[in-house]
Every structure is written in structure tokens, then in C-alpha cells.
A and B are shown apart, each in its own frame.
Chain A
Amino acid sequence: MPSRKLPNYLRGCRKGLGLSQKEMAFLLGCRNGGSVSRYERFTREPTLKTALMLEAVLGVAIRELFGGAFEQARQQTARQAQELVEQLRTHESSPPVQRKLGVLDAILNDRHANHLNAYDNRSQ
């Protein structure tokens, strides 16, 4: 696995589908292909709505499509989680604190996918 992913893999996915930047811009509701070009050259980040539209058009999950950005966000979250763990450890141990520590441990060890699955099962 690459240790340093690119911010996004939009260009390859778009070319793979045989779409031009202009056509992609039309699908995303942009005025011209300039915005798509800027996303592909990593000079601009799309909004959440545009990112979701990109996922819908390209059929690739956002975390795969924006591999580098996701990796960066995950690392930042892990740092914050570590800080929160240290704060919680100063509290008295109780079942809610233990549960939170379990969640944070999952975030730190990249097991959050299991938590998401558990959430999906709960909500069904």
C-alpha cells in the first residue's frame, strides 16, 4: 500500500469512464471544466455536496476517491483521540468512561469500520 497517497484520484477515475472534464462539470452542475481541472490538480477541494456527487458519478467510495485527504483526516482524528484518552484517564473509572475509551481505542487502532457496522446494525 502506498505510504503517501495522492489527495484524490479523480482524474484516473474520470478517464476510466471516458468522460471529459466538461461532461463531468455538467454532471456536477458546474459552469465549465475549470472546476474539475482544479480538483484534479489538487489546487481546490470540492464541497461535501460535490464530493458526494463525485462518488455517485464515479461509483467509488469517497475514502478511496480522496485517499490522501482521508488519510490526513484520519491521522488528525487519531491525534485528537489520543488527547481525549489522556483527558478521560484523569477521570474516575466508570462504565460510560470505559465505553468511551473503547471507542477511542478503536479509532486509534483503525477499527472504526467495525463501529460503523455496529451503528448500521443498531439503526436497522
Chain B
Amino acid sequence: MTTAHNEIDRVLSIDLCNRGVGFVVLEGRRKLVDWGVKQARKARETRTLAALGQLIDLYRPDVLLLEDCFVQGSRRCPRVRKLLKQTEDLAVVRNLKVCYVSCAQVRQAFARSKAVTKHEIACVIAARLALLAPQLPPPRKPWMSEGPRMSIFDAAAFALSFYESSGNTNHQSNLNISNS
């Protein structure tokens, strides 16, 4: 669905990871309101959904941004797919707009900055949102697992791609927005 969203003020962008959920709250593409990782090691689904509910109630965002894991080529596991669907249901209950951003759209949005890898994209985000710079994890070696703070940058990448998309197309987004 194509929709105009130049009236959108505050977005909550989340990235589900194996340790819980990374999130950022932005007001416009420059103002970072909050960010962090909500850890959920035990009863992951329940705790993640509870944490997301608290974030939505606290910040009352205009749009909830989620990763589009239903596109072809997405390698998200069934648990995360199910959790994303449950998150969308949570947003429906709270009358919140949900927007899906795919990894391809993120890559496209950061291609202009010549950022291809996750770390390069995270560096670009840290440069644009200076408050996130101390959270930037070191470059990952092949034998290292991904740092939990990377999910903050993934969430920020969805948010910046969302704003990029709205700015580049004359306030018309080609992102998938569902009016809950």
C-alpha cells in the first residue's frame, strides 16, 4: 500500500534478535529520543512482547517499524516471523500504524553513503546520530558472534530507511504501511 506520511512525527523501530529486542525511538530523522536493548533470555516471546507493549505505551509512537521478513530471500527463523506477527497484532490493539522495512530497502537507502556491510551501515548511523556512537560495536571477526548492541543499529537502519524513503519520493512512501 502506498501512502503519504509526511505528518508522521514519532517512530518506534525494533529489531528482534536472539537475546531480545533492540529498539530506537526517533522524532524526525535527527532527534533520537531513546534507544536500547530489552533483554529476554527466558520466556523470550512473552517478555519481548511485554517490553514492546511498555515501549508503545510510554512513547505512543505514530508508526511502529518492523523488519519485513515475509519477502523472498529473508532468512528469519519461524520463531521471529511468528513474533513479528504477534507484534503487529499488539500494534493493532493499540491502533498503531505498522510499517515493514525490508533488508533490501535498508541496503538501497545506505547505498548512497557507500555502506554495504552491517558494520559500515552502523558507522554511517553513528555518524548521523552522534548519541549512538558510543554504542557502536567493534568490527566483527569471522569467529565472533554478533554483539547485542548491533540490534540497536539495525533498528536505527530501519528508521532512517523509512525517513529516507519518505523524503526521496516527495512524501510518498513505497514502504508497506498497514493502517491498524
B-contacting 9-mer, from A6-14, A54-62, A89-97: A6-14
Residue in A2, A3, A11, A18 whose CB lies within 8 Å of B34 = A11
Instruction: Tell me which residues across on chain A come within 8 A of B131, comparing CB atoms.
Output: 12, 15-16
Distance in angstroms between the alpha carbons of A12 and B131 in the assembled complex: 9
A2-B27 in contact (CB<8A): yes
Which B91-134 residues have C-beta < 8 A from chain A? 131, 134
Q: A18: nearest residue on chain B (CB-CB)?
A: B134
A6-B33 in contact (CB<8A): yes
**Is A122 interfacial (CB 8 A cutoff)?**
no
Distance in angstroms between the alpha carbons of A11 and B36 in the assembled complex: 11
Instruction: Tell me which residues across on chain B come within 8 A of A4, comparing CB atoms.
Output: 9, 60
Distance in angstroms between the alpha carbons of A6 and B27 in the assembled complex: 10
B32-A41 in contact (CB<8A): no
B35-A3 in contact (CB<8A): no
Known: A15-B35, A18-B134. A2 touches B10 (CB 8 A): yes
Distance in angstroms between the alpha carbons of A12 and B28 in the assembled complex: 15
Distance in angstroms between the alpha carbons of A61 and B144 in the assembled complex: 43
Per-residue A-contact encoding for B1-37, CB less than 8 Å = 1, 0 else: 0000000011000000000000000011000111110
User: Size range of the interface on B?
Assistant: 10 to 19
Q: B135: nearest residue on chain A (CB-CB)?
A: A15
Q: B27: nearest residue on chain A (CB-CB)?
A: A2
Chain B min CB distance to A18 (Å):
6
Instruction: Tell me which residues across on chain A come within 8 A of B32, comparing CB atoms.
Output: 12, 16
Chain B min CB distance to A37 (Å):
12
B58-A3 in contact (CB<8A): no
Known: A2-B10, A2-B27, A4-B9. A12 touches B134 (CB 8 A): no
A3-B9 in contact (CB<8A): yes
Known: A15-B131, A41-B58, A42-B58. A9 touches B9 (CB 8 A): no
A12-B9 in contact (CB<8A): no
Chain A min CB distance to B50 (Å):
15
Residue in B33, B35, B60 whose CB lies within 8 Å of A9 = B33
**Is B70 interfacial (CB 8 A cutoff)?**
no
Instruction: Tell me which residues across on chain B come within 8 A of A11, comparing CB atoms.
Output: 33-34
Which B45-70 residues have C-beta < 8 A from chain A? 58-60
Per-residue B-contact encoding for A22-49, CB less than 8 Å = 1, 0 else: 0000000000000000000110000000
Query: Which residue numbers of B lie inside 8 Å of A, CB to CB?
Result: 9-10, 27-28, 32-36, 58-60, 131, 134
Query: Which residue numbers of A lie inside 8 Å of B, CB to CB?
Result: 2-6, 9, 11-12, 15-16, 18, 41-42
